[in-house]
Amino acid sequence: MPSRRSDPPRRQSTGRASADPTVLPLHGRSDADQQQRGRSADQQQRGRSAGGQATGRGGISDARRYSPRGRTVREGVGRDPFRPALELLRNEQTDDRRGRSAPGKRSGAGGRTGAARQQVGGRQGSGTVRQGSGTVRQGSGTVRQGSGGRQGGGGRQGAARQGAGRPGEAMPRRATAKGTATRRRPVRKPKRQPRLAEPARRLRAGTAVVLVLFSIIAGRLVMLQLVDARGYALKGLHDRLVTQPLFAQRGAIYDRNHQVLAQAVEAKYVFADPSQINAKAVASTADALRALLGVPTSELVPKLSRKTRADGSKDEFEYLARGVPISTANAVMALNLPGIGVGHDERNEVPGHDLAANLVGFASNNGATGDSLTGRVGLEEGYNDLLSGTDGSHTFEVGQGDLSAPIPGGYDETKAAHPGSSLELTIDRDLQYEFQQVLTKQMQGYHADFGSAVAIDIHTGEVLAQASYPSYDANKPGEYTSDQMIDANTQISLDPGSIHKAITLGAALQSGAIQPDTTVTLPGRSINKGGTNYTDTTPLDRGTKITLPGILAYSSNVGAIEVADKMTPQTLYNYQLKFGLGKSTKEGIPGESAGLVQPPSNWSGSSYGSIPIGDGVSTTPLQMAAVYATIANNGVYIQPHLIKATISPDGTSHPAAAPQTRRVLSPQVAAVLRHDLEAVVTAKGATGHRAAIPQYRVAGKTGTGLLVRNGSYAPGDVASFIGMAPADAPRYVIAVFAHSPGGEGGDVSAPAFQQMMSFTLQHYGVAPTGTAVPTFTLTQ
């Protein structure tokens, strides 16, 4: 029995020399293979005993029985069919390395003993036999022979590997360790073994896929956040933004003493959010609001019903009423109706109601839109841009649906509103009130359908009062017609009649056609021009010589036509223009009529008789008042105007531009006319006695003209009186017009003038001059 050796225990490859009967045969292994496997196991056991290794003690080869998953080969049988083949390949490589480098057991002088190992290989005859110094592996078709193993010094010599030939091919013989020749068995081509897993490759592939995905996501994020971010953000904001107007406070209109004539006051607007109102509650909500707002149910229901705007968005805001008093707004909120709210607004207020209403006009807001107060007529319309200022807005982000409320920290932008400027007029509120009271009473007494009165400061051209009849309450404009809202002094055209004779006499005096003491011989009680007879209301016999004061006092048509014949038609036309006829005064009222005067080229045969006495000439009451103000102002025309100054929102006053002025008559001619016009009030048989004011000298002229409506004359007459006082040192000119079914200017308008001028002189403290009233010679 061989003695124990002190060499280290021989390594055993996992699965090669296992004698465990539980190891399953691989791929149809034959009984001979099993027997060979048994013998190899016995030899292995004897080798262990010969080597001196204790039975049952594991070594490195035993440790290799455990697979990477922590199970032994025996435990893994039946679970992984490829495990034995994998172990076989691994052990072949291990044996190959061992045969080259591992120190083996030596026999005698150091050669290997005849230890043999046999291992299950998975094919028929797959076993390995090592004898002496040589090794033969069978079963896989490969024969490996060591050429003596290690001898003496233990080196391995003559190691040779020879591959298997193809099936049926004669294999060369090779000597075994005992010197006998053996024939190599034909080796079958091994089946392709399964490839081992490659974690590195899978990791690289997975990393590449992840990088591609991240690149796509990153690119999309760049598009969303940088390239298309603004577009998407704006589109999202559009559905969440709500804009509420911030109305600029409208400027006020003051009189010359800074008393309020019209102003904007705080109010509320009532609105609806149809998206918050249930369709079944629309009718009941409209019924609840109808009485408070004064808006018909038929108008409320469409505004309360849900709908979509033209841009596809939901309708979330509708005005139900504008300029609502605060008390009414509080009553609406007390109803606690879903989708109904109120907001800050303003409304126009005229403290005097009808005081200067035809002059100032009114402003209102549109109940269906977000417009601020807008001037509709009068100065409110003419200076709307200056009074309105610039509206602002508050745009903020709100939630959707049940969260329809401002979002804290969301989009919020406020554009401040800039208040409008105010107007300071030349009007005196007290004087305006008196004029309106007198005019209304006088017009109602004569059943006049329109009346007008205007007062001018002759030294400045400022309009101190400008009244119209009928008037209206500017706080309730919806209750009146448009005819009641017009300003009669600037928007009504009429034939002035006899008050035009002052222009005819002034042009003749200034042109030198006549002299202050000139007398005119009358051809009779009438005169024919172009087939038309012109008669006098105060008939004088043929051959009567009438003076210039007589022509004015008796209002002689024949005498005025005879004076006009002493100058050219062009001269009269030129002075008509110089006195301001035929063009707007630009006082400030929108829609002012320019009137119409005909050039001589358009005159017909009758024009030579009608135009000198004020027929066939279209003027406004204000234009004729400016004519007499020119005579009172020593022949200098000053443009009549209403605006004294504008007041900016910070309270700074900016005086209005200076009015246009021009000289029309010399002071001497103007003085002659003032003297002759005084005869109208004081001379015996004159037409204007009812215009006289005790203790004051008054100069003026009565007139009877025609009203022009829609390009034709209306029935009835326009009675007028225009006068100045004190006559010898004039301060003011007042013109009164009235359209009545019949009556002379002296009867209708002169009494109104007398009351208005008396109050004006007392109001401004103008004392009588104390000079004696002159006497006049009317005829010779």
Classify residue 595 as left (phi > 0), alpha (psi -120 to 50) or beta: left
Query: What crossing angle do the helices spanning 429-445 and 745-763 adopt, rounded to 10°?
Result: 160
682 vs 776: CA distance, rounded Å: 9
Total count of residues recorded for the chain: 780
Q: What is the token pair recorded at 89?
A: 């390949």
Q: What is the token pair recorded at 327?
A: 């008390």
Q: What is the token pair recorded at 142?
A: 């490969």
707 vs 700: CA distance, rounded Å: 21
End-to-end CA distance of the chain: 193
Which residue from 629, 631, 598 is spatially nearest to 615, judged by alpha carbons?
598
Q: Which of 372, 388, 471, 498 is catalytic?
A: 498
**DSSP letter for each residue of 423-470:** EEES--HHHHHHHHHHHHHHHHHTT-SEEEEEEEETTT-BEEEEEEES
**Residues forming a β-bridge with 732:** 457, 725
Main-chain dihedrals φ then ψ at residue 170, nearest 5 degrees: -65, 130
37 vs 32: CA distance, rounded Å: 8
Residue 618 annotated among the catalytic residues of the structure: no
620 vs 496: CA distance, rounded Å: 8
Kindly state the greatest CA–CA separation across the chain: 193
Answer whether the bond into residue 470 is a cis peptide, omega within 30°: yes
Instruction: Check residue 545 and report its DSSP letter.
Output: E
For residue 329, the tally of other CB atoms under 10 A from its CB is 22
Question: Counting Cβ atoms within 10 Å, is residue 487 exposed (0-12), middle (13-18) or buried (19+)?
Answer: buried
CA atoms within 13 A on the CB side of 242: 16
Angle CA 400–401–406, to nearest 5: 45
CB 531 within 8 A of CB 606: yes
Q: What is the token pair recorded at 673?
A: 């006319």
Query: What crossing angle do the helices spanning 501-511 and 621-632 adopt, rounded to 10°?
Result: 40
H/E segment holding residue 33: helix 31-50
Catalytic residues: 498
